[in-house]
Amino acid sequence: MAIDLSSETFNKLGMLPWPSVAPVGYVNSPVTRRIEPDPERAPVIVKLFEWYASGELSLKAITKKAAAAGLTNRSSGQPLVKAKIHQILQNPIYCGDFYWLGHLYEGHHEPLISRDLYQRVQQVFEAANHPKQGKRQHAFVGLLTCGRCGCAYTGEIKKEQYIYYHCTGYRGACGNTYIREEELARLLGEVVKRVRIPTELADKVAEALRESQSDKEQFARTTLMRLQQQQLLLRTKLDRAYDDRLGGRISDELWSSKSTELEAELQRVRAEMARHERASHEYEATGLQILELAQSAYSLYVTQNAQEQARLVKMLLSNCTFDRGSLSPTYSKPFDLSAKGTETGDWLLRLDSNQQPSG
């Protein structure tokens, strides 16, 4: 448990409420004399923890994603190296605690992540440091949270052969139970089984997707033409401002301000054009892939090993809690609609009221 170090104690020690330079993702506030979230870097730091907690990405891959997201060293402006990413992911400062002179204290700053997410990341580190056989044996780590206290569920080997999952008890004993991996795999299979679409409905949805693709493409073409006109107008304004600068009609300061403003607007327009182009190409393909997965999820699940089953479950669920033998899944969109249709059996009603997907 973290020790609560009050402001009075810091004052006695002659320290500021935050005793050193702010870590990446925070900035030192001269007003509050504490660290506060860095509006540019903090969202990327949160992503780092979410990426690694998934168990799907290595430190090397996350380091590349961090660089692509623009996370840099504050002093040098260079992308962070893998060792620094490793250090960030193991620093409790981001969940509200911090180490000082060898002791763990409870901070008074705003945490960027929950303590549960921080602990899940540490579990992935722990699994990564085990032999490969050990990693395979704990396939479902990171999939469950405790339905009683909200902590993560972790894996443990009993009698050197049986794998059990149990609440980490990070917030203290909560009374929840263990579950054998085989039983957990069966329960997760039942969760996956709910994600299915009747064949006749799937055919109609696929047809509707193909029809609406042409509408999407027409909308994208119209939008792109509008954006191209905006882009041309901005370039004309930029050229005109440059000519005014060369002709001495505007000052260098005004040119710098105007050119920066116009370049930023150009970047925004280009990004919006790229987004519409991707959306136009990916709409039908993505829809059909999701439809195919919804039709075959369970048959695929029962043929896979535990690691592959865990990856499939992560695609279908955004969260899943366990409480004394029962799972309570929260399905990711759009698989939640499929699971709901299976549960209620109102597929025909849904089909009648949704003949065409919205644009």
What one-letter code names the amino acid at 56?
A: E
What pLDDT sits at residue 185?
95
pLDDT tens digits for range 37-54: 999 899 999 999 999 998
Q: How many CA atoms lie within 13 A of 342 on its CB side?
A: 18
The domain tally of the chain equals 1
What is the mean pLDDT of the segment spanning 21-38?
Answer: 83
Position 300 confidence tier, pLDDT thresholds 50, 70, 90 = confident
Three-class secondary structure of residue 36 per DSSP: strand
Instruction: Report whether pLDDT(111) > 80.
Output: yes
Q: Which helix (H) or strand (E) holds 37?
A: strand 35-37
What is the mean pLDDT of the segment spanning 248-261?
Answer: 83
Please say whether the beta carbons of 113 and 90 come within 8 A.
Answer: no
Three-class secondary structure of residue 166 per DSSP: strand
Q: How many Cβ atoms from other residues are within 10 Å of residue 115's Cβ? A: 18
Residue 39 located in a structural domain: yes
Q: Which of 58-62, 84-88, 250-254, 320-324 has the least mean pLDDT?
A: 250-254
Instruction: Report whether pLDDT(292) > 90.
Output: no
What is the mean pLDDT of the segment spanning 244-258?
Answer: 83
Helix 42-53 to helix 59-68 angle (10° resolution) is 150
What pLDDT sits at residue 291?
67
Residue 320 located in a structural domain: no
CATH code at position 11: 3.90.1750.20
What pLDDT sits at residue 136?
44
What pLDDT sits at residue 246?
83
> What does the angle CA 20 – CA 37 – CA 9 come to, to the nearest 5 degrees?
40
Instruction: Report whether pLDDT(235) > 90.
Output: no
What pLDDT sits at residue 202?
60
What pLDDT sits at residue 151?
92
For 127, which DSSP code? H
What pLDDT sits at residue 89?
93
Residue 115 located in a structural domain: yes
Which residues does residue 330 pair with via DSSP β-bridges, in sequence order? 319
- Domain extent at residue 39: 3-119
Q: How many Cβ atoms from other residues are within 10 Å of residue 72's Cβ? A: 17
Residue 81 located in a structural domain: yes
User: What are phi and psi for residue 106, nearest 5 degrees?
Assistant: -90, 120
Of 47-51, 55-59, 79-83, 284-288, the range with the highest mean pLDDT is: 47-51
Q: Which of 129-143, 147-161, 326-340 has the least mean pLDDT?
A: 129-143
Q: Give the whole-number percent of the chain exceeding pLDDT 70.
A: 74
pLDDT tens digits for range 153-181: 999 888 778 899 999 988 889 999 999 99
What pLDDT sits at residue 315?
85
pLDDT tens digits for range 264-274: 887 887 777 77
Instruction: Report whether pLDDT(259) > 90.
Output: no
88 Cβ neighbours under 8 A, 6+ residues apart: 23, 24, 25, 45, 48, 80, 94
Q: How far is CA 350 from CA 198, 204, 344, 345, in A?
A: 12, 12, 11, 10
Residue 127 located in a structural domain: no
Residue 77 located in a structural domain: yes
- The b-or-e profile of 267-281 (16+ CB within 10 A means b, else e) is eebeebbeebeeebe
Q: Give the whole-number percent of the chain exceeding pLDDT 90.
A: 24
Position 338 confidence tier, pLDDT thresholds 50, 70, 90 = confident
Residue 187 located in a structural domain: no
Three-class secondary structure of residue 273 per DSSP: helix
What is the mean pLDDT of the segment spanning 60-73?
Answer: 90
Nearest to 74 by CA among 113, 20, 21: 21
79 Cβ neighbours under 8 A, 6+ residues apart: 63, 66, 67, 71, 72, 73
Please say whether the beta carbons of 189 and 302 come within 8 A.
Answer: yes
- Whether the CA torsion 204, 205, 210, 216 is positive or negative: it is positive
What pLDDT sits at residue 359?
40
Residue 86 located in a structural domain: yes
Q: List, edge to edge, every strand of the sheet that includes 326-331.
A: 145-146, 317-323, 326-331
d(CA 252, CA 181): 69
Position 15 confidence tier, pLDDT thresholds 50, 70, 90 = very low
Instruction: Report whether pLDDT(229) > 50.
Output: yes
Instruction: Report whether pLDDT(101) > 60.
Output: no
What is the mean pLDDT of the segment spanning 115-130?
Answer: 82
Instruction: With 0.85 as the threshold, say if the pTM is over it.
Output: no
d(CA 354, CA 320): 29
What pLDDT sits at residue 355?
42
Work out the mean pLDDT of the chain and round it to a whole number: 78
For 351, which DSSP code? H
Residue with the two structure tokens 């054009």:
273
